[in-house]
Amino acid sequence: MWAAVTGKTMRYDAFSKCHPAVNFLFFVGAIGMSVVIQHPAYLLAGIITGAIYYLLLNGKKGWKTILGLLPMFMILTVINPLFNTLGATPLFHFGSRPYTLEALFYGAALASMFVIMMLWFGCYNKVLTSDKFTCLFGNLIPSISLLLVMVFRIVPNFIRKTQQIIGARKSIGKGISENATTKEKLQDGGTVLGSLTSWALEGSVVTGDSMRARGYGAAKRSSFMMYRMTGTDWILLAVMLVLIGATIVAACLGQFAATFVPAIQLAPVSWGLAAYTCYLLIPTALHIKETIQWHISRSKI
């Protein structure tokens, strides 16, 4: 089952049906905690849960993104010891600088944090659509919320329009050939960039005229709220707050402590990992629960 979201297709997802406040709180917690946690066990939990939910949202196409993150993970991991020479266990020397095991592990931790954020941001873009963001913040900060929605749309719109321009040029025989020289490729890229810039500037003028014609900013605006908090939403909010609180308590108790340089020192894994993992598994659990219920209902037909 598929649903149209911001012009793209997305797999049917139970968590996406929840109130935008529930979606927003979850991603704030998931992304926020991934920025500060460096313990390998928690990083592994973040990667696994993020990858699972990303695949549930994107299907087989999600594997392309996940596999594309692996080279970035390896590069960030390998590069870190070249700049950070701290560590008690040198593996070899790069010139006069030691390449240490501790710095390598530290690089892996930083790379893992990057991968987790990319996965959860990818899920965020699929679940928390522009209409949900406007629903949450449209009345509080109307100008900023509109600006953020427009900014979030810039990159995907530019990529889509660039592909359209390149395809149109190829259809009239002006596309770049495989054996083109560097100069020809630069000229072709400059032409595409010029067309893209003209389209963007013209679109901004049209958008401004359209908003002015509709009276945007002329008076206090009204809004239509198509989302309502349900009993399930309140339960999810309570569960997420409890798990976030438990995770914060675990962090204050030092369960997330991890030091890599000059020596590796990791806090023992405790109940904080269970709280953190359960929090990250909430969307996946809802998705699986809804899928099981749908198959049971279908089998009874």
90-112 pLDDT per residue, tens: 888 887 888 889 999 999 999 99
pLDDT exceeds cutoff 90 at 175 = no
pLDDT at res. 7: 37
pLDDT at res. 213: 82
Mean pLDDT (whole number) for 138-146: 60
- Picking from 69-83, 160-174, 196-210, 217-231, which range would have the lowest pLDDT averaged per residue? 217-231
Task: Quick: pLDDT tens for 9-47.
Answer: 445 688 988 888 899 999 999 999 988 889 999 999 999
pLDDT exceeds cutoff 70 at 279 = yes
Confidence of residue 148 (pLDDT cuts 50, 70, 90): low
- Picking from 56-60, 181-185, 278-282, which range would have the lowest pLDDT averaged per residue? 181-185
Confidence of residue 5 (pLDDT cuts 50, 70, 90): very low
Mean pLDDT (whole number) for 127-143: 70
Mean pLDDT (whole number) for 281-291: 91
pLDDT at res. 9: 42
pLDDT at res. 273: 94
Mean pLDDT (whole number) for 224-242: 86
pLDDT exceeds cutoff 60 at 8 = no
Mean pLDDT (whole number) for 173-194: 80
Question: Identity (one letter) of the amino acid at 151?
Answer: V
Confidence of residue 217 (pLDDT cuts 50, 70, 90): low
Cα 53 from chain centre? 11
